[in-house]
Structure 1
Amino acid sequence: MNAVFFPLSKVVYFVITPSNFFIFAVLAGLLLLAVTRLRRTGFGLTIIGGLGLALGGLSPLSEAVLLPLEQRFPAYPPDGPAPAGIIVLGGGIEAGLSEARDQIVVNDAAERPIYLADLARRFPTARLVFSGGSGFIRGGIAEADILSRQADVIGVPRTRLILENRSRNTQENAAFSASLVQPKPGERWLLVTSAWHMPRAVGCFRQAGFTVDAFPVDYRTRGWSDLTRFNGFASDGLFQLDLAVKEWIGLVVYRWSGYTPDWLPGPEDPAGSASR
């Protein structure tokens, strides 16, 4: 199923990404106004696209869509118990650029590998798993392989790393990691990923029979007070809106596909915690 699911998800997301959708609406509307008699339809599409770009870019709409995801799991307490293992999901390393430039190049989710290094230092006996394959449809080097080469740069001992380099999406992160480490009943494992991605990630790990505690990072909002803030740059708001809409769509699709047990997984496992 994943052989079709992965490339299809890339194509569908490109089309329905809010910023792309609004731009397509404006272009389609202008085209209809210029070359057809469907002036009312063309005018309507142009207005919808223009308003969407303005509201999505400048208003707190993006924060309103993102906050329920980021607030779903609390931050892991500084004095939390030491885990048996730590799993960090890929997504923070630009694998292609890193390979081309022969150094680690990170993106806006760089907190994921940063906290891998921090947690490795804080918990020197914990097993360290980095799960990240290639995000390209046709091949490409895996994030885990880049991290393997550049582990010393971020201060992570290469000898401690357990690398999972086959996964292309969150469901595969969970399934392949569970198969790789085979956690024992009663073990505490931390899952490190972006706060906005944590509900879907935890749901996938639960569905894979792997009980994890959330360690959210890479926050994009300050909290509910952001609902009163407006963006200084439309590009910032549209980027956040694209991210949030993609994640909400991902939650729905993953639930329909049976990859997660709930529509919006939360801190409490609805199936109980008997596996711990």
Structure 2
Amino acid sequence: MFFPASKLIFFLITPSNLCISAILLGLVLAAMTRWRRTGFGVALSGALLLAAAGLSPLSEIALLPLEQRFPAYPADGPAPAGIIVLGGGIEAGLSEARDQVVVNDAGERPIYLADLARRFPAARLVFSGGSGFTAGGIAEADIVSRQADAIGVPRTRLILENRSRNTHENAAFSAALVHPKPGERWLLVTSAWHMPRAIGCFRQAGFAVDAFPVDYRTRGWGDVTHLHGFASDGLLQFDLAIKEWIGLAAYRWSGYTPDWLPAPEPGNESR
């Protein structure tokens, strides 16, 4: 029940959808009811928020606390026992239809799966990603299995988890699949803006992992002084950030994470 409900709620409260809905509702109220002034106010509010989210640094202000939460894994960091890469970077339906790997704007996730496989030849490799649809659809892990050579990962090294539909299930199913031993070092690869929620889910599943963030959308705090040249860029980032903040709250309320905004464990900030 949580999965389909979350998809519907996220669609309804995505800022760009909400702003457009407010504009349309306001215009209808102004044109077809006696609440003319209220309608214009609602439409204007939606338009102003849409412009602010698209052109101002509002999206960076929302994204940076997420992306800066966990530092990058050091280049000379110790070799891990295993590496877990979360799905979300491959367009599974398009990949199946075109019989090749089609990545989206989180495509760094499978890219770094191949890179880390080369850097750490003894590490176990886990790709965790099912279908993002409420019913049917091919799993990302199945695409990775078919296209391992194209991605640059030896198929014989891959451990594939293809049932998960969200981050909570990524963590629970991966833990059940690999049974990590106490004291083992595992790297978790996912988007930097998604890392706090992902780390929280793995901790709640009893699976200790070190963050390996990728897919950054900001360059750093200096971005808060810049305006967007294209409103579509800002809206895409703002939608992403608000969805992730809502996801953090929903996961905490559901008991999927131990904290509202998971952070590096004390003493492990540089890991």
CA distance, structure 2, for counterparts of residue 227 and residue 103 of structure 1: 38
CA distance, structure 2, for counterparts of residue 44 and residue 9 of structure 1: 30
By how many angstroms is 1:69 displaced? 0.1
Q: Is the counterpart of residue 110 in structure 1 residue 140 in structure 2?
A: no
Q: What is the 5 A alignment of 1:17-32?
A: 17-32=14-29
Q: Is the counterpart of residue 155 in structure 1 residue 152 in structure 2?
A: yes
Q: What is the 5 A alignment of 1:250-269?
A: 250-268=247-265
Q: Is the counterpart of residue 181 in structure 1 residue 178 in structure 2?
A: yes
Residue 261 of structure 2 aligns to which amino acid in structure 1? L
SS in 1 for 2:147: helix
CA distance, structure 2, for counterparts of residue 239 and residue 108 of structure 1: 11
CA distance, structure 2, for counterparts of residue 31 and residue 227 of structure 1: 36
Residue 140 of structure 1 aligns to which amino acid in structure 2? G
CA distance, structure 1, for counterparts of residue 214 and residue 94 of structure 2: 23
Counterpart position of 2:201: 204
Counterpart position of 1:9: 6
SS in 1 for 2:22: helix
- 5+ long unaligned stretches in structure 1: none
By how many angstroms is 1:41 displaced? 1.1
By how many angstroms is 1:210 displaced? 0.2
Percent identity between matched residues is: 81
CA distance, structure 2, for counterparts of residue 233 and residue 267 of structure 1: 34
Give aligned pairs, total. Answer: 268
By how many angstroms is 1:42 displaced? 0.2
Q: What is the 5 A alignment of 1:194-273?
A: 194-268=191-265
By how many angstroms is 1:152 displaced? 0.2
Q: Is the counterpart of residue 67 in structure 1 residue 49 in structure 2?
A: no
Q: What is the 5 A alignment of 1:30-179?
A: 30-179=27-176
- 5+ long unaligned stretches in structure 2: none
SS in 2 for 1:192: strand
Q: Which runs of 4+ in 1 moved over 6 A?
A: none
SS in 2 for 1:135: coil
Coordinate RMSD, CA, aligned: 1.0
TM-superposition CA deviations, 1:160-216 (whole Å, max 9, x none): 000000000000000000000000011000000000000000000000000000000
CA distance, structure 2, for counterparts of residue 224 and residue 76 of structure 1: 19
By how many angstroms is 1:138 displaced? 1.3
CA distance, structure 1, for counterparts of residue 144 and residue 163 of structure 2: 14
Larger mean CA deviation between 207-216 and 33-42 belongs to 33-42
CA distance, structure 2, for counterparts of residue 182 and residue 118 of structure 1: 24
CA distance, structure 1, for counterparts of residue 120 and residue 249 of structure 2: 35
Relative to the length of structure 2, the TM-score reads 0.98
SS in 2 for 1:30: helix
SS in 2 for 1:13: helix
Residue 240 of structure 2 aligns to which amino acid in structure 1? L
Relative to the length of structure 1, the TM-score reads 0.96
